[in-house]
Chain A
Amino acid sequence: MVTADKLNELQLEPEVPELDLSWLNLDTEWGVSAEPGRKGLTLQQINKSLYGDIPATSEDSSARPRGAAPPEGATPRMTPWVLGDATETFSDSAGLLYDEAVSRQWSSATDIPWDTMDELPEDIERAMVQLCTSLTEVEFIAGDVPGKWLPRIAADHFESGLFLMSQVMDEARHTDVFRKRALANGGGLLLQGGGGGLRQILEAEDFTQMSSMLHILGEGFVQSLFRLGELIAHNEAEKRIFRLAAQDESRHVAYGVTHLKYTLENDPEKAEEVHWTLDMFENTLVDPDQANPGLAGALVYLLGDGDVDEGWRLFWHVRRKQVLEYLHRLDVAGLSGRLESGRLHPALAGALDEN
């Protein structure tokens, strides 16, 4: 062992870094100011002048912030490929949705009134923890997917990157809150409810295809369901969980819709590809073989509060709303006509029938 004294003897003066002042004379845009507004200093407020110009195509796979001067000397390629074309990932609302995500974060530990959960009848508690088992599972994949795509987002299109980063956080909280509910009130986790197209979202190799499945159809259905959470919840804690999660899902859905809108406006030929993706994903959603055995039963049971006939009636009420809202979102995105052209899966079209 070298003694401390000896080491001290060997302590040298640290080397002084070279002083290079060339960065004091860059020709990046200068003189930019922003004033905080009602919500503070948001991304919208700094998206000015050249720094707000979103390149339609980015060649830059590095981490250089949009508008910064390129470094001197050789630079490495950071990833094998980025989605440089804005039509691949961009949404005009991404920055706004990120700002909103930051200001509307909540805590599953402290913002849910867990003490309002009284003991529930055994059948209801079982149905609720079954539903939550399926939901924590779905949310788990919903967090993996944006994580997977992050390295492929061009730094020039950072708004989409930031949005996806906020989604990773939101989905962590959803995975967490449904696990918490399952373990909070006497029940536990029950039957896995995999399938239902989760893998198709994960394995998609095109961002817009992925986003149509995840953000528009998948999370759209989830959001419509959560918004009707009052029908499922048995106490204030559960109501709050669904309400807060629905708020988060609205942002995720809004990103998907505005991204698709941006893509279709700039690349109309993409429409048919998205139709195909939705054909496939709708089919998976209603495929009895893919059905999640716990989810449907528990959901119907909870909706009817144990009365299965009433539960079915309300299930179709929920499904009808899901389909209507889905079609509306596609309209807004500029992908209309699935119902009229007979392209919407018959099992979903059938849900629109009032009876």
Chain B
Amino acid sequence: MPESDVVKAAKERLEQSGLPSDWLDIPVHWGVKAKEQATPENGGLRFEYLNVDVYGEVPEHWDNNTEIPRGAVPDTRTEQMGYSIFDKAEVWSDLCAGLYEDAIAERWNSSADIPWDTLEPIGSDMERAVCQIATLMSEYGWTKAQTTGRWLQEISYGYIEVKLFLGTVVFDAARLYEVWRKRALSNGGGLGRGGRNWKFLPLTQSYTFSEFCVASIMHDSMLLALLRHGEQLAQTEAERSIYELCQKDIERHLAYFVDHMRYLMLKEPVRREEIHRYMNKAEWYLAKDGDDTLYSALGVIMGDGREGAEEAMADVAELRREQIETYLGYLTECHLGDREDRLNEELRKWAGIAPEEEVEKIPV
């Protein structure tokens, strides 16, 4: 493109003043006008609409270890920044940009959006049980935020959409932490007992992003199955809206994790066995954690007090079965439907699936 007079004049003025002007030499992809799609009906200027011209080309491999914006011209003097993820298959999902904007559009505020004034005394056992669940929810929120946050420094700008979305996951997880803390400390109760945390090790220890993703799918889908019982578990309108709002957040997170794993399985089917190993580990820790506090607290709530808890444990068992079913359902969506055959023995019992040896006896 021939240099226009106005740019030529601008360069001269800058140079006379001793200022760098080489940025004016850069060929501009002129005419990139994302604003044209920014109508109210379209949800404003969403990140998806930036995928125009070269800026929408998400490379299979990104080879720059600086923080250079995708589509900018490199300054080769810039130091490397220590990123470790440079392959699209490793992190990508086409849904990221949209989910990022959805998270922002659906943001909520635990201070003002929960009808806290609907809380009322619910009896000592019930309050203890709600607070015990709240304590464990907070714990997961904290772990989720910490472990998601840790991956940001690994992902290069090539996959900016993923990072932006993960930023919303960190923020949502912060809210998961604090909204339940608020619930525990607002209605005449207090915090309960912390969990054993063994089940979180596959998240905190994850060495690869894929491991982090499958561990997240396991924890998030089990949490989601529980949150879906909000109507049944909530004692007040305030709790009902906490369950509902947290559920929406977790569904968004799962949408990403699942779509990403589906993408990975399609792009790199050879990694299937490796991924199963991460699931072996995540499930093993979950089973071995052996902390029944959550389910006992659910028993007290479903049994409307400690007296009814024993009887309610059958319903709790059903809820736990749904948790495993939800987990397996999401795995099927990412082309990992063969997991059912390989599910951890302990989790098979939770789900009421016959042990693997029994299944093998059936003639094919």
Chain A residues packing against B (C-beta within 8 Å): 1-2, 6-7, 10-21, 23-24, 26, 28-36, 39-43, 46, 48, 51, 62-65, 67-76, 78-79, 98-99, 102-103, 105, 107-110, 112, 114-115, 117, 121-123, 126-127, 129-130, 133, 136-137, 140-141, 143-148, 150-151, 153, 155, 158, 161-162, 164-166, 168-169, 171-173, 175-176, 179-180, 182-195, 198-199, 202-203, 292-294, 296-298, 300-301, 306-309, 312
Contacts of A297 in B (CB 8 A): 14, 19-21, 23
Q: Give Cα distance in the complex from A233 to B64, angstroms.
A: 31
Q: How many of chain B's residues have a CB under 8 angstroms from any CB in A? A: 143
Q: Give Cα distance in the complex from A70 to B196, angstroms.
A: 8
Chain B residues packing against A (C-beta within 8 Å): 4, 6-7, 9-10, 13-14, 16-17, 19-24, 26, 28-35, 38, 40, 43-47, 50, 52-55, 66-75, 77-79, 81-82, 100-101, 104-105, 107, 109-114, 116-117, 125, 128-129, 132, 135, 138-140, 142-143, 145-147, 149-153, 157, 160, 163-164, 167-168, 170-171, 173-175, 177-178, 181-182, 185-198, 200-201, 204, 290-293, 295-297, 299-300, 306, 309-310, 313-314, 316-318, 320-321, 349-354, 358-359, 362, 364
Check if B50 sits within 8 Å of A70, measured CB to CB.
no
Contacts of A41 in B (CB 8 A): 110-111, 114, 116, 182, 186
Q: Give Cα distance in the complex from A279 to B160, angstroms.
A: 33
Check if A150 sits within 8 Å of B145, measured CB to CB.
yes
Contacts of B30 in A (CB 8 A): 186-188
Check if B78 sits within 8 Å of A43, measured CB to CB.
no
Q: Which of A24, A73, A146 gathers most chain B CB within 10 Å?
A: A24
Check if B55 sits within 8 Å of A165, measured CB to CB.
no
Q: Which 7 A-B pairs have the closest CB atoms?
A: A194-B78, A172-B167, A64-B194, A147-B152, A40-B111, A109-B44, A150-B149
Check if B69 sits within 8 Å of A76, measured CB to CB.
no
Check if B194 sits within 8 Å of A23, measured CB to CB.
no
Q: A19-B292, A189-B69 are contacts. A65–B77 as well, Cβ < 8 Å? A: no
Contacts of A194 in B (CB 8 A): 66-68, 75, 77-79
**Which one of B17, B66, B320 contacts A312 once the chains associate, using CB atoms below 8 Å?**
B17
Check if A29 sits within 8 Å of B23, measured CB to CB.
no
Check if B20 sits within 8 Å of A12, measured CB to CB.
no
B278 CB to nearest chain A CB (Å): 18
Contacts of A188 in B (CB 8 A): 28-30, 32, 53-55, 71
Check if A130 sits within 8 Å of B173, measured CB to CB.
no
B330 CB to nearest chain A CB (Å): 19
